[in-house]
Structure 1
Amino acid sequence: MNFAELTRYRKTQVDARAREIQRLEKVLQDAGIKLTSVASAVWSASSREIIEALIAGERDPAVLAQMAKSRMRAKIPQLEEALYGHFGAHHAFVAKQIIDHIDYLDSAIGALTQEICERLLPFEPAVALVASIPGISTITAQVIIAETGGDMSRFPTAEHLCAWAGLAPASYESAGKRKPAGTRHGSTS
C-alpha cells in the first residue's frame, strides 16, 4: 500500500467515525435524550460518561447530570432537563455497539496515522513546509505529499499543480469570449 492509499483509507475511517457519532446522536434523540441541546457535541468526555451510565442502567437525570465535567457543570439544570427520556434496553444495546465501533475506529485511525508518519519520515521537511501554509494542517500536508509523491518537478508551474488537484477554474473560450466553467474534478490517480 503506498502513501496515497494509506491517507485515503484513513479518510474513509475518519468519515466512518463521524457517521457512527451521528448514529449515536440519532439513538439518543430516538430515546428522547436531548444531550446535544446542552452539550456542544455528543462525543465529549462528559457525554461519553453519561451515555455509558445510561447503557449501564442509570436513568435518573439528576444523577446523570452530576457526571458533567468542566464547562458543562455550569449547565447542570439544563442538562437534567435534557436527560429526561425513555432510554430503553434496545437503545442501550445499540449505543454500546456504536461506542465499541467508535473505539475500534479510533484505534484504526491511530494505527494508520502512525504508519503514515513513519512512511513519510523521509519527506518530513516537505510536510513541514506545506504545513507552514496558513490553513493547511499537518494531516492535510501529509495528504498533499502522499498524493503528489513529494516531487513537484513534474508540475512546471503552480498553476499546473492547481489544475491537477482540481482547484483551478476551467474556462471555455468561444468567439473571443471567455466563459467560466467552475472547477474540474482533479486527478483520479
Structure 2
Amino acid sequence: MAPFRDALDLLDTIPGINQATAEVIIAETGGDMTRFASAKHFTSWAGACPGHHESAGRTKNTKARPGNPYLKGALGLAAFGAVRTKDTYLAARYRRLTARRGPLRALVAVEHSIITAIWHMLTTHKPYAELGGSYFTQRDTERATRRAITQLNQLGYTVTLNPMETTA
C-alpha cells in the first residue's frame, strides 16, 4: 500500500473510515477516479446508490443496486462507525433520515454520502471538509425555529421570541 499512502491519508480524514477500511477501498477501486466520469457513476458501480423502479408512471423504491460486494461491506462498516461519531455531518444526516425512512435506509444514505465524498476527495486530492453536526439547523434557521416553537406549543407553553442583541 506504499504507493497509495497519499490516498490512504486522505480517506482517513472521513469519520468512520479507519486504516483497514481505507485499504479495502483503495484495493477495490485502485485509487484512480479518472475511470469514473462522475460521482454518480462511481456510486452506481459500487452499488451504493438507491434502487429505482418506474412502472406506469409510478415510482417505487427498491433495494440498492448490486455492486462490488467487498466495497459495499467496507462502506457499511464505515457508515456504521460514522453514525456513532459525535457532532459530525454524517451522524446528523443519519439521525435526520432515521426518523422518516428507518435505520437501514438511513445507513444506505450515509454510505452514499461517504462514497460521494471519496470520489471528490480522490479526484481533487483535498481532505474531507467536515460540515458539523449542526449543519442542517444552520442551513435553515427559520425552519429550526418554527419546529422548536411548535414543539413547545404542543407541550402547553406559550412562546415569545426576542432576538439577541449582538455586540460588535
TM-score range relative to shorter protein: 0.3 to 0.5
Bigger-Rg structure (1/2): 1
TM-score under structure 1 length normalisation: 0.35
Instruction: Choose between structure 1 and 2 for higher RCO, CA contacts under 8 A separated by at least 6 residues.
Output: 2
Judging by fraction of residues, say which structure has more helix: 1
Question: TM-score, normalising length from structure 2?
Answer: 0.39
